[in-house]
Amino acid sequence: MKKRKNKGQKRKEVIGFDVSMMRPFMEGLLKNMEGGIFAIDLNRKIIFFTKAAEWITGYCLDEVLGKKCRDIFKSDTCNEECPFDKVLKKNIPVHMRNVTITGKYGLKILTSRSFFRLDDVHGNTRGIAIIFRDITELQNLRQQVIQSEKLAVMGQLAAGVAHEINNPINGIITYLHLMLKQLAEKKMDPEVWEKNLRLVERETIRIGRLVRNLLNFSRKTEPELGSVNLKRLLNETLPVLEDQFLIKNIKISEKCEDEIPDVLGDHSQLQQVVMNLIVNAIQAVDNGGCIDVALAAEGAKGSECFVALEIKDNGVGIPEEDLENIFDPFYTTKTGEKGGVGLGLSIAKQIIKAHHGRIRIQSKVGKGTTVSIRLPTP
């Protein structure tokens, strides 16, 4: 009878050497890792503290050994959000970003941290290990990059805005002059007045939309994070656009898996993305066109890592040479009545990027366009 290999044996074969022989290697690895590691026992007392943990916190091993971790680090999550019990009982690793801990001499350190359970070779739980990184510098750099990216974009925006606002304003002034002239000559034609007022209304709405988009663009880029269920978000957003589907007699189909895990996101920003994309699809299709919206989770059941949203239309499509420009601020091919501002996709991209997601557009002229978004689950 074939003897079944236990897990440990199998692992040794896969790695190609006996891990237990590698103690110096492991120690070297721990000592030289850039991220700090410390471990606490079941009484939450510190039992292990690496060199990098010393560098980051400013504490020496002797100062922290045997002390309760909350007394040392006074993290802002110590009270309500300590993941100790969750990690211990459910054996689920917990990752936390942007947690401030207190180092030696009251130094505030912004960290990202991962907690996981420590079991010994007999399967007995001994405590919890915490890997953490100082992301203060990273955060500062990220803010600087965001700021300078924004300034660069703002430069482009200024020229575009002047142009975009100037056109409708010229139109409004012309129509108003015509009406004032008729008024002065006491030759008011209600039909002409109605037509002119409608045009003034249309142009004013266009300026309003431009200003709204600009405000969104310059708003804080960091999303306000919470649990967002994209299925619910779609169910809230599609009815808002119902009139537009009806006017163009558009067939809208929704394909959605039963259970879609939540993503970590800013509800109103994500809603804005969906709106922008569906409005683009509506504008791209002819009367009687189709828009298919699909939502699916990616990854093994119970541990899905992404939620994928796809918006597919059978509209005009985008020429290959234009595909590289469509995310640029103020890039638009919509003229006249449709009058696009060219900010919809750049705002969508900016928001998805801030959510650590990806947005991709595939298109064929005359066949249609598919926009795919993937957002990570927490």
Ligand X SMILES: Nc1ncnc2c1ncn2[C@@H]1O[C@H](COP(=O)(O)OP(=O)(O)OP(=O)(O)O)[C@@H](O)[C@H]1O
> Is 280 near ligand X (CB under 6 A)?
yes
Among 72, 233, 369, 373, binds ligand X (CB under 6 A): 369
Q: CA–CA distance from 312 to each of 86, 309, 349, 373 (Å)?
A: 41, 10, 17, 12
Residue 373 structure tokens? 């978004």
Q: Which residue has the tokens 């640029």?
A: 328
Among 309, 318, 352, 375, binds ligand X (CB under 6 A): 318
Stretches 136-144, 145-153, 264-272, 315-323: which one binds ligand X (CB under 6 A)?
315-323
- CB nearer to ligand X: pick between 16 and 366: 366
- CB nearer to ligand X: pick between 23 and 338: 338
Site for ligand X in 124-143 (CB under 6 A): none
> Is 281 near ligand X (CB under 6 A)?
yes
Site for ligand X in 321-340 (CB under 6 A): 326, 331-334, 340
> Is 39 near ligand X (CB under 6 A)?
no
Q: Name the binder of 109 from ligand X, Mg ion, none, CB < 5-8 A by kind.
A: none
Q: Which residues bind Mg ion (CB under 5 A)?
A: 280, 344
- CB nearer to Mg ion: pick between 45 and 209: 209
Residue 115 has phi, psi (to 5 degrees) of -115, 135
CB environment 20-45: b (16+ within 10 A), e (fewer): eeeeeeeeeeeeeeebbbbbbeeeeb
> Is 168 near ligand X (CB under 6 A)?
no
**Residues touching ligand X: how many (CB under 6 A)?**
23
Stretches 128-136, 242-250, 259-267, 311-319: which one binds ligand X (CB under 6 A)?
311-319
> Is 341 near ligand X (CB under 6 A)?
yes
**Which residues on neighbouring strands pair with residue 14, listed in sequence order?**
none
- CB nearer to Mg ion: pick between 265 and 342: 342
Q: Name the binder of 341 from ligand X, Mg ion, none, CB < 5-8 A by kind.
A: ligand X
> Is 289 near ligand X (CB under 6 A)?
no
Q: Which residue has the tokens 């649990």?
A: 227
Q: CA–CA distance from 4 to each of 8, 17, 20, 77, 262 (Å)?
A: 12, 20, 21, 45, 40
Helices 267-284 and 230-237: crossing angle in degrees, nearest 10, is 50
Contact by Cβ (8 Å): 287, 309: no
Stretches 41-49, 90-98, 300-308, 343-351: which one binds ligand X (CB under 6 A)?
343-351
CA distance 83 to 101: 15
CB environment 224-251: b (16+ within 10 A), e (fewer): ebeebbbbebbeebbeebeeebeeeebe
- CB nearer to ligand X: pick between 281 and 297: 281
Contact by Cβ (8 Å): 216, 272: yes
- CB nearer to ligand X: pick between 45 and 334: 334
- CB nearer to ligand X: pick between 102 and 370: 370
Instruction: Residue 241: name the closest of 274, 199, 212, 288 by CA.
Output: 274
In this structure, what DSSP letter does residue 330 have? T
Q: Given the rule CB under 6 A, which residues bind ligand X?
A: 213, 276, 280-281, 284, 313, 315-318, 326, 331-334, 340-346, 369
